Amino acid sequence: MNVANIIEEGKLGGPQIRMVRVAAALAGRMDTLVVMPLANSKPFREACDALHVDYRALPLTRMTKEWRVALGYLFFSPFEVFQLARLVRRTKADLVHVSGGSWQVKGVIAARLARVPCVWHLNDTMMPGFIRKMFRMLSGSASGYIFASERTQAYYAGLVDACKPRFVVPAPVNTDEFDPALVYEGDEEFLQHWVGKIVVGVTANVNRVKGLETFVRVAGRLNARYGSENLVFACVGPVHANQRRYHEKLLALCGELGVTNVEFVGARSDVRPLLKRFDVYLCTSVAESSPISVWEAMAMAKPVVSTDVGDVPLYIKDGESGFVTEVGDDAALAQKVGLLIDDAGLRARFGNNARRTTVDKLDLAICADRHLAVYRALLGER
């Protein structure tokens, strides 16, 4: 079986990580070609190289609010669709897997032109109205749909062809590689700086969807209770060029609240040395579907305090492996983090329960098998 997995966003994030990990896990049972944009995809390409995943980087434009790039998207998209269709035919793909969400339309159209079945992978719970309308018009072109979460399936319930196959497959985490029993090298300078402090952290690309204003406000509340000299609030992830203004607003909010212990660590090719050091993982997202970063924290036996987004409540049992609160409620989030700061035994118990959940339900081997089952179902294979 040959599958072309196409995405129009080159920046390395949850969908891209899932594509690479699943392709590597299925090597030997099927062949996957990952197709990505050339622009902004260097870490994505490096991830493919590290796991020996075959890929093609093409000059694909992306949908964006940046007007120059948006004009290029409108002008070049027809040529890019034909280029993708030629690639699908030339590589003799049996199936096209369109990753990245409902705005990823080029792969769907290319699959139709190439007369190859297509599965559309949806991984969001919040999209602008014009994207939803565009998706409604094109969704019937897919042979079936993968939803990254139950909540995503509910979000798109009225927009997909109810007669076509639908599958819920969560994002995977490799629990063999994300294992608190292992020793990880790197970032010694940060780790030394954090000695003797409680570290509340998150791994996330810096953008508005991650609700990092709430992260800063939680820091302000907890500093008032425990003292800023005893705490560190770490955000591990890149600040892309189109998010610099948002990052500046976060820094201004830190100044306004007198918060001096929020550290924007920047991008890491391996987050595990820092993630292992976290005492509490704090997710303040406004919207998610199946957040890999949260699953990675759980696999590392970290107690998680999260907003109620995506399928987080399905895997984090409130009061057993973490706490779940309403989106934007910094007072409730701070109160729950405080319970964990006060009780090392509770942190250990929640973390162990979280680790067990990822091994039983979210491990890469399980999710890769579910992807393969989807492909076989759509192609009529057993």
Q: State the pLDDT at residue 69.
A: 67
> How do residues 306-322 score in pLDDT, each as one tens digit?
999 999 999 999 999 99
Same fold? 2-172+363-379, 188-362: yes
Taking CA 248 as the corner, what is the angle to CA 245 and CA 250, rounded to the nearest 5 degrees?
115
* E runs forming strands in the chain: 2-6, 31-37, 55-58, 95-98, 118-122, 144-147, 166-168, 198-203, 231-236, 262-266, 280-283, 304-307, 322-325
Question: Nearest-CA neighbor of 261 among 227, 214, 225?
Answer: 227
Q: What are the Cα distances from residue 173, in Å, to 25, 161, 333, 353, 378?
A: 11, 30, 25, 16, 25
CA dist 20 and 27 (Å) reads 11
The helices-and-strands tally (H runs, E runs) of the chain is: 15, 13
Q: For residue 53, what are the CA distances in angstroms to 229, 301, 311? A: 45, 29, 28
Instruction: Provide CATH code, domain 188-362.
Output: 3.40.50.2000
**Tokens 């060029």 belong to which residue?**
241
Q: Give the per-residue pLDDT at 67.
A: 64
pLDDT tens-digit readout, 170-218: 999 999 999 999 999 999 999 999 999 999 999 999 999 999 999 999 9
- Report residue 75 as tokens: 């002008």
Are 130 and 151 contacting, i.e. CB atoms less than 8 angstroms apart? no
Could you tell me the residue ranges of all domains in the chain? 2-172+363-379, 188-362
Superfamily of domain 2-172+363-379 in the CATH hierarchy? Glycogen Phosphorylase B; (3.40.50.2000)
Parallel, antiparallel, or unpaired: how do β-strands 166-168 and 95-98 relate?
unpaired
pTM above 0.95, yes or no: no
- For the residues 255-277, what does the mean pLDDT come to? 96
Q: What is the pLDDT of residues 25-34, one digit of tens each?
A: 999 999 999 9
Under 8 Å CB-to-CB from 150, ≥6 apart: which residues?
Answer: 168, 311, 314
**DSSP states of 25-78:** HTBTTBEEEEEEESTT-HHHHHHHHHTT--EEEE------S-HHHHHHHHHHHH
